Structure 1
């Protein structure tokens, strides 16, 4: 994996992404030449068209990320990828047409845009099919040796067996027979030199997955491995990198304390984040006011009660604040107390089901973003009743409040459902990953992929 601004990107994603960038550039230039030949003019020097081609490439690339063209499903299935690429290129074309209308001096050209989009769709479809057959995915998988043979090692084994796994385990090494549950594990006593064993296995890294580390760490062995130039990773760090979440089952307080992340040096990032929230929030609120007003009237017509729903939530550092949303449930939805929304929840009104799917009910929360109580990106703010209950049942739940809550977030785009303690546990793992590894790059990635959740709302409740 490649680490970019604290976030890990698989090699396959990087390969397909670079190929798509090259194809978009090629499609833009070919379209320019085709259109020039049609009208009998010279295409001119490449410097005259470099800006519109780069603009076309940038906008379409962002649309591809937003639509999920680099998701595991898209990387696995060329047909799925082609369908998503058509949606992404269509959205990119619309965005470019709008930009050309608003900023005609930028040089975006409408006459060749259709050719560029068509060529890009065809070339990306062909290359995806070719790469899916030509690229040996096993070659991209890192070879890992696991020190341990208990339940933690078994979890790594199950993860490596998944189709989208980015690593393969070459051997397990059992340190303590009392915790051994993997029969294929090699006993440490059978290995003369652990460093030489990892080298013979062509291991790219050694993962510590011991059940009991107190007075059990083989320091001499680990030193021998490390001085051979082979990285040694603790199981929590390894799982964080591979899954994009902080694994609660293997988490120790010492790991949170000593690992990278939760950086205090976020001054400029915080300033940029707050500036973005104010500028975009103000613009979005102005643009969306007619939509909010229209659906406020429709909510009143659809069911009895007020158009807006006001509820207390828990924000930064556990401070409560009031959030405003368009009402999507009956007015008596919480007569017996706050409850999680469930699939096909009978409390949701007819119109409420629609505005939840397309996230229109969230638009009034933009006011909370402008006031600074929320951000566009962050953990979802919960009601105090749920927070008190979850803090008692889930370890480290209070740590998610170390960052400002958001309208969208890493948990929302990766684990959309949240209707039980177990769901809350999974979402907490993603929230902790965000709080630990926040950068503007991760915010941008989340904002882009929120479009995928809105267009394909299979997780909206």
Structure 2
């Protein structure tokens, strides 16, 4: 990661926001927007502390401060245009709440002036800096340590396509690893062979790989899936691309950022944008706090019923595996007799003798899950996400379905697509069947889908389909 360029990019953006705010306040003052007795200097100073910071947060949430060497000028221009327009509208609307500022019929004029000042300064800076960055890449001054997976004729053609381009794309090939057991390694005449698929992680770390290009046949689905499974832990540090086939191109999956670039399909394993992740977390916290407050009298009733239903604690704590494989303690209202798992971990079933009579009522309406709102507040869980499991069962699932580890990329949830579509699982086989729904959720994550799952969950709760 080239740190100084990213630091300069962010810092100058911040300074541009300060300058634009100063010029905008000067414009308002010169055009008699303020009442004569109003302290304009105070507004200016308050804005200096708040406005640039808010602009920084907005651009961060919309992923405009990723590695500057990966940014497309056209993408930056279009997003900066949109974000600047929306932001300027919001800031002027906030200023309208101040009765000492007289906008009258000049609101649109004020928005336009602020937008022209801020966007004009910002886009001039961004395009100038990104053009400088682009020239460094094209001239080979900087580049990305690149690894090719595959060594046959397909890989050779890709290598020749990239190295014969008029302008460099920044790929500095460190070598390749074979994907066919070493049977055909035609690429070795151009770059060194660094091992096989078993050596992939070692090579990525030792060679500080930033780009991985998978040059195998896209029809080799199992091999491709296995490679992507092994690469998922590097999704935030390594750009992963494959050679598309004609079907991918016709589907519109291939997006070109460089007119003279090689045709490659970028694999993006993080489907939800940062701004949606931020809003999702705010929604998780808000809903959890509201539900705990609204349901507090009912929760007190559940506490008393649980206390007197059978001997034992009110809350049941159990270790589950969360995001990135981190263990945490999940909270539930106790629905089983104490020492229910003396014989080892077991999945519950419809006629489970370990469940108390009150526990069966709670499970039917999923009331035992209410304490998990506390897990959400602690950051261990989300409202929506794959259900967390114990390490014992995860190991059993992973032995048969290694791609289960993709579920660990996100926070587990109180409810999930798998929970809504399939329900609770009583066996490993049922957990494997439910897995496909949770994998679909991971690949299609969005705020809209989360809200849809929450509504379906409410419907399931009213039907009393828990167990």
Task: Tell me which of the two structures has the higher relative contact order, counting C-alpha pairs closer than 8 angstroms and 6 or more residues apart.
Answer: 1
Pair member with larger Rg: 2
Classify the TM-score, shorter chain.
0.3 to 0.5
TM-score, normalisation: structure 1: 0.44
